[in-house]
Structure 1
């Protein structure tokens, strides 16, 4: 996958469209209330579908593989969260506080499922393990992201009161639980309409981004974040990508994982989920703040696609070379 083909990705195009529409026609006043209701409905549907799609047997299988799963959880919600805290501290003296704290928020998010699995497959890694690991991280993220974020100093308007806790339960946890309960009934239907259901995911994430970015536009984001600020954000995101990818690969080596499992650990450990991060931000923060906080997430989401493609291709080449070298003695004998 090249940079050119990344731009063709429907999810990326929808995110860009959501930001552009918010910039030109932000939802304010009564329109914001309507947009928030639409976004909340889409978020509920997204997590309901997630509950239906993630098979219980996969959850059990993932839990059983503790040698892979436990270090992955520690890396994603521990090491990456601390890295996010460090980057937030670096940016706090330069960037708007809400933008800086966005790096901590980014660090506490779980991995993607779709792209982590796709790149693991492209690189010749353990796809089944990647699916299970990323799916379990997403489940844990609903429960773990907010406590870790708050424990590391992510306070301000994001402090979880009763109203926010109720929203998290009603919009994230309840629909996921319902999806798990309905899995046996709806499993065939979900599989049959899988291509169409993907667009529900994309719409839910885009709607959340539109609501969040509308608040940032209303707060005059273009004057509060200048060219030097964007350069600083770009450098911090690049550093975060380096930490995430290099650190996850080294961690897999320290754990002495087999190469396919190490590749799965890399992509599940370095990717960050906009599917969880964007909806959760609109629940956890008011729109005026959420739009600034998700800036780091949006840039990371784009950059991780740019970086993951050549990494996966390089790993695939090495895997193929190793396979050929391994078979050479047999071929010549």
Structure 2
């Protein structure tokens, strides 16, 4: 029962980190140390993402260009359109920072690990899923900041040119450096892959602790009413339902076969928590980043639960 309710035990670590920041927020000199540690882990995260991305996998899957284009359009065009329509229709439904967080969810790229895992369980097109999810994460590094500039009027922590420079220094350059150095460090990365894997989650935990510490000291839980959290939960449910219905319908409408429709469904609806948290830490200034992170933290768990159910159902249908 617990595994069904919480498919990813990492959620418990996230909840624990939020509680730690609530009762023991980073202050003074310790907050400065946590802030610098957060920057260092973000740089390491994107460096290793670049080093792990195999060009061969992306190139091998480019033959299914029509499938990849469909997934990318859903991820970076249709998803943001749904978010902005919701925000424009009901701007007073939630506080502004929560709406920015929802728009941020809509602008994020797909995941690689979980999307490919669910496609595999459901007997979908796994090679295409690897190529599509990898391309989505690569493009997300460049596209997500631009989309947020359009959707929410933000261009990074400092705004304007300084904000773009911050994104370049902490995200673009480490990713590019890691990918360019891949021929020389590939053996090291593969040998210590399990240890490097902890970089992803440790980066998220440190960034969440830093962000929520600043938000708590600014009165986060006094400003954010329980009713707003309940509304956010409902908005996320509606957003996920629309995304699932949209990907399922588009796959059928465009005449894709069963394996490709499964790939569209799971790669088109997934949003990356691993990239989302550190990217938000770079893109958004000040304590409001703690509030902005709430939607992706909730959406992450909800998408895992829904996709786990659907993947098992597809697998059972295939076996039958």
Distance 1:157 1:151 in 2: 12
TM-score by length of 2: 0.94
TM-score by length of 1: 0.90
Q: Against the structure 1 CA distance between its residues 68 and 8, is the aligned structure 2 distance closer, same or farther, given a 3 Å change threshold?
A: closer
Q: Alignment length, in residue pairs?
A: 320
Residue 115 (structure 1) shift: 0.9
Q: Against the structure 1 CA distance between its residues 31 and 230, is the aligned structure 2 distance closer, same or farther, given a 3 Å change threshold?
A: same
Q: Against the structure 1 CA distance between its residues 158 and 176, is the aligned structure 2 distance closer, same or farther, given a 3 Å change threshold?
A: closer
Distance 1:196 1:39 in 2: 18
Provide, for residues 151-184 of structure 1, a one-character-per-residue CA deviation record: whole Å limited to 9, x for no partner: 2344498684222211211111111111111212
- Equivalent in the alignment of 1:198: 197
Contact 2:240 2:269 in 1 (8 A): yes
Q: Against the structure 1 CA distance between its residues 193 and 18, is the aligned structure 2 distance closer, same or farther, given a 3 Å change threshold?
A: same
Contact 1:111 1:271 in 2 (8 A): yes
Provide, for residues 26-62 of structure 1, a one-character-per-residue CA deviation record: whole Å limited to 9, x for no partner: 1233332211110111111111111111101122234
- Equivalent in the alignment of 1:328: none
| Secondary structure, aligned partner of 2:27 | coil
Distance 2:306 2:153 in 1: 28
Distance 2:288 2:107 in 1: 18
- Tell me, yes or no, if structure 1 residue 271 matches structure 2 residue 287: no
- Equivalent in the alignment of 1:119: 118
Residue 299 (structure 1) shift: 0.5
- Equivalent in the alignment of 1:232: 231
Contact 1:85 1:103 in 2 (8 A): no
Residue 109 (structure 1) shift: 0.6
- Equivalent in the alignment of 2:143: 144
Residue 270 (structure 1) shift: 0.3
More displaced, 3-12 or 224-233?
Answer: 3-12
| Secondary structure, aligned partner of 2:25 | coil
Q: Against the structure 1 CA distance between its residues 294 and 88, is the aligned structure 2 distance closer, same or farther, given a 3 Å change threshold?
A: farther
Distance 1:6 1:116 in 2: 19
More displaced, 237-246 or 91-100?
Answer: 91-100
Provide, for residues 63-91 of structure 1, a one-character-per-residue CA deviation record: whole Å limited to 9, x for no partner: 44321111111110000011111233355
Distance 2:303 2:260 in 1: 20
Contact 1:6 1:305 in 2 (8 A): no
- Equivalent in the alignment of 1:318: 317
Distance 2:17 2:218 in 1: 17
Residue 142 (structure 1) shift: 0.8
Distance 1:210 1:112 in 2: 22
Residue 210 (structure 1) shift: 1.5
The structure with more radius of gyration = 1
More displaced, 39-48 or 281-290?
Answer: 281-290
| Secondary structure, aligned partner of 1:164 | helix
Contact 1:76 1:108 in 2 (8 A): yes
Which structure 2 residues correspond to residues 67-146 of structure 1 after superposition, within 5 A? 67-146=66-145
Residue 219 (structure 1) shift: 2.2
Distance 1:305 1:3 in 2: 13
- Equivalent in the alignment of 1:326: none
More displaced, 83-92 or 193-202?
Answer: 83-92
Contact 1:80 1:244 in 2 (8 A): yes
- Equivalent in the alignment of 2:168: 169
Provide, for residues 118-168 of structure 1, a one-character-per-residue CA deviation record: whole Å limited to 9, x for no partner: 111111111121111111111101111121122234449868422221121
Q: Against the structure 1 CA distance between its residues 45 and 72, is the aligned structure 2 distance closer, same or farther, given a 3 Å change threshold?
A: same
CA RMSD of aligned residues (A): 1.9
Q: Against the structure 1 CA distance between its residues 224 and 247, is the aligned structure 2 distance closer, same or farther, given a 3 Å change threshold?
A: same
Residue 107 (structure 1) shift: 0.5
Q: Could you list the runs of 5+ residues in structure 1 that have no partner in the other structure?
A: 322-333
Q: Against the structure 1 CA distance between its residues 8 and 134, is the aligned structure 2 distance closer, same or farther, given a 3 Å change threshold?
A: closer
Q: Could you list the runs of 5+ residues in structure 2 that have no partner in the other structure?
A: none
Residue 112 (structure 1) shift: 1.0
